[in-house]
Chains A and B, each alone.
Chain A
């Protein structure tokens, strides 16, 4: 028996606008870019909603209705949900329609898609609660399984998340932690009683990254071919975790690549094999027992070839920016000023630090594709200018 567990990540940050040094101290807003560039958050939400969220949701709703055994799960950041409410209510209600089928599980994460676990346990817990609240409000459900920002994970996180009452947690099935072990089983973290689900990154990335890659020897990828790879796992694994960004459909892989047709045929092709079925993370945890214990001390993630923290925290700008940000936290919280706390938290989004990444020579192209700024240097200076402004505001309140 092989169960396929699909989870889609849905997230959009509030990108910082071109905030100049000259703007510091002038009561400018930070995120309300109204230009024609990719810093205009409203424009981006509208674009992604029309290219990806709305058409893919429509397709998924049909598939969920058509195939009783088909199931998926989502993790939304709070940031994307509030922006959908503001800029694309139609997309939000189409997500609500999916959840209403009761065949869609929602996962827990930090509201601000932040790196808070690495810097402040208190902040981390607060952001998870904020997320829980918005999920309850928008979808009337409460998540039981946790996934941290960009699948950042280690033993300590598993322990904390277990204490917070979650039954399961997701992580990257990185080669360096698995060794000869297979990602296609449930594991147990060292010293924590919580189920660990690992992303099968080969099969996931075949869809998310390689689908339209013409130089790939498997191009073009059909649902039939993909199902045959799934079938090949049968007998050697219990749960195949396909984790990917939801924007894969229609945004990273454009419609003309045939990605929607692929998705449309995927459930029926997979269900052709009588031993296959679909599960949500909670169902997988109930059905399968942990195969082994995994001891993961160093942080892993699903980003870049390194699958570590280097996408956000490898250069001196990134470290400088995030250290300064978290060193201001106490003052911000003590101010009890909602607008200060809100702006500070908006700056905790991991994306701001990702945009500052300078690893051009290996994964540079991916970073460049996802970077709305001309250079990582520009990303850094706008962040720091905004931070400096925020700090001025905080100090004034004292």
Chain B
């Protein structure tokens, strides 16, 4: 089986879960198929040691680049914002970039030899469509997040249309959860039989689990403070405002609690204001975006991780927390809640319940211990191997019927 895969970002040049998921899936798929992984931007991954390291890590994958100015996983709003502020120099709009990626993808498809096309999220869908037009091979559209998730329903019509076009043009759709499948059914009018759910996994090799807890946080903990962690873009989809509301309720009952928010995003200012207005700024820490060992330190320092997402197609951060032995509370509006039993689940809007659950885990040691132990075990079973095997089954069926 030869697979031509179009991605969007790749660690360490990633802004979120998409790049991590692409890497995890590509690495596992490489064991079962010949995989060519195409990225849009040559400059994003510098042809230096770092890049070589990645390609060396991943067996049987050749990474290809298209010279494009796209930066990964950016909301179009932010993209325009960046343009206006001239912090980055873009000559074209985001959509022109997508078109360019698609054009070049068609060229690649003419040159390469493959059986199947697989593209991740809307920015690569154009590439997938072109490759299919150029080669006539079956096209699998993989949905990691929709415009509905990203915007909380206040969609950019043009992006939505691009997503819908890709989904309709695809021969098969892979969605990362039942939760996302339902969004595709309800908001994109896709036939349910066209969609396969393949849950994401986690690649333990990407994490340094032996890092030490950050010294400053260690000191605070020794004074009896408990740490509750949020990790994610600070944007509407991730429910940071619900996190703050729950925190306020927790603090009324247990003032020795600290809330650490890891990530950046368009709502950062609003959240900092909200925290200040509630008079709990002294209990909040904003670290900005963290990766690698710094992120591992944050997970390890925390007594509890909370993922209050409003709409979370999967939610890798929950698995990341669990493998660091930090128990998790996840919103029921998430894909990861479909694969985890050893976590507590809560509706994102029910901040009373969220606060009560947070307080319980902080208060009862044996509860924390059990959740930590069982959560780690359960997360370690969420492998990319099984996701890759499901993809292979989907490919085989498509190729046979093609």
Chain A residues near B (Cβ < 8 Å) = 20-22, 315-317, 319-321, 358, 360, 364, 374-378, 380-381, 384-385
Are A380 and B356 also in contact (CB < 8 A) when A21-B253, A375-B341 are?
no
Residues of B within 8 A of A317 (CB): 364, 366-367, 369-370
Q: How far is the CB of A62 from chain B (nearest CB, A)?
A: 44
| B270 on the A face (CB < 8 A) | no
Docked Cα-Cα span, A385 to B345, in Å, equals 18
Closest to A380 in B: B367
Are A377 and B253 in contact (CB-based, < 8 A)? Answer: no
| B360 on the A face (CB < 8 A) | yes
| B236 on the A face (CB < 8 A) | no
| B275 on the A face (CB < 8 A) | no
Are B363 and A21 in contact (CB-based, < 8 A)? Answer: yes
Are A21 and B359 in contact (CB-based, < 8 A)? Answer: yes
Are B366 and A22 in contact (CB-based, < 8 A)? Answer: no
Are A384 and B364 also in contact (CB < 8 A) when A20-B356, A22-B356, A378-B344 are?
yes
Are A358 and B342 also in contact (CB < 8 A) when A21-B253, A316-B369, A319-B366 are?
yes
Instruction: List which B328-386 residues lie within 8 A (CB) of chain A.
Output: 341-345, 352, 356-357, 359-360, 363-367, 369-371, 374
Q: How far is the CB of B117 from chain A (nearest CB, A)?
A: 38
Are A381 and B360 in contact (CB-based, < 8 A)? Answer: yes
* Total CB contacts across the A-B interface at under 8 A: 60
Closest to A384 in B: B364
Docked Cα-Cα span, A316 to B368, in Å, equals 10
Residues of A within 8 A of B344 (CB): 374-375, 377-378
Docked Cα-Cα span, A380 to B344, in Å, equals 12
Residues of B within 8 A of A320 (CB): 364-366
Residues of A within 8 A of B343 (CB): 375
Residues of A within 8 A of B363 (CB): 21, 384
Docked Cα-Cα span, A316 to B371, in Å, equals 10
Q: How far is the CB of A372 from chain B (nearest CB, A)?
A: 15
| Chain A to chain B: the 3 pairs with minimum beta-carbon distance, closest first | A320-B366, A381-B360, A316-B366
**Looking at the complex, which one of B253, B345, B352 makes contact with A374 (CB distance below 8 Å)?**
B345
Are A380 and B364 also in contact (CB < 8 A) when A20-B356, A21-B359, A317-B370 are?
yes
Residues of B within 8 A of A374 (CB): 344-345
Residues of B within 8 A of A316 (CB): 366, 369-370
Docked Cα-Cα span, A20 to B371, in Å, equals 19
Are A315 and B370 in contact (CB-based, < 8 A)? Answer: yes
User: Besides the contacts A21-B363, A364-B341, what 8 more A-B pairs have beta carbons closer than 8 Å?
Assistant: A22-B253, A316-B369, A317-B370, A375-B341, A378-B344, A380-B367, A380-B370, A384-B364
Chain B residues near A (Cβ < 8 Å) = 253, 341-345, 352, 356-357, 359-360, 363-367, 369-371, 374
Are A377 and B370 in contact (CB-based, < 8 A)? Answer: yes
Docked Cα-Cα span, A144 to B12, in Å, equals 73
Residues of A within 8 A of B365 (CB): 320
Closest to B378 in A: A360
Closest to A321 in B: B366
Residue among B357, B365, B370 with max Cβ neighbours from chain A (10 Å): B370
Residues of A within 8 A of B345 (CB): 374-375
Closest to A374 in B: B345
Docked Cα-Cα span, A312 to B369, in Å, equals 17
Are A21 and B366 in contact (CB-based, < 8 A)? Answer: no
Residues of B within 8 A of A20 (CB): 352, 356
Closest to A388 in B: B363
Residues of B within 8 A of A364 (CB): 341
Q: List 27 interface pairs A-B (beta carbons < 8 Å), by A numbering.
A: A20-B356, A21-B359, A21-B360, A22-B253, A22-B352, A22-B356, A315-B366, A315-B370, A316-B369, A316-B370, A317-B367, A320-B365, A320-B366, A358-B342, A360-B342, A360-B374, A374-B344, A374-B345, A375-B341, A375-B342, A375-B343, A377-B360, A380-B367, A381-B360, A384-B363, A384-B364, A384-B367
Are B367 and A381 in contact (CB-based, < 8 A)? Answer: yes
Residues of A within 8 A of B360 (CB): 21, 377, 381, 384-385
Docked Cα-Cα span, A199 to B253, in Å, equals 50
Residues of B within 8 A of A385 (CB): 360
Are B366 and A377 in contact (CB-based, < 8 A)? Answer: no
Are A377 and B367 in contact (CB-based, < 8 A)? Answer: yes
Are B364 and A381 in contact (CB-based, < 8 A)? Answer: yes
Closest to A381 in B: B360
Closest to A382 in B: B360
Residue among A20, A358, A375, A377 with max Cβ neighbours from chain B (10 Å): A377
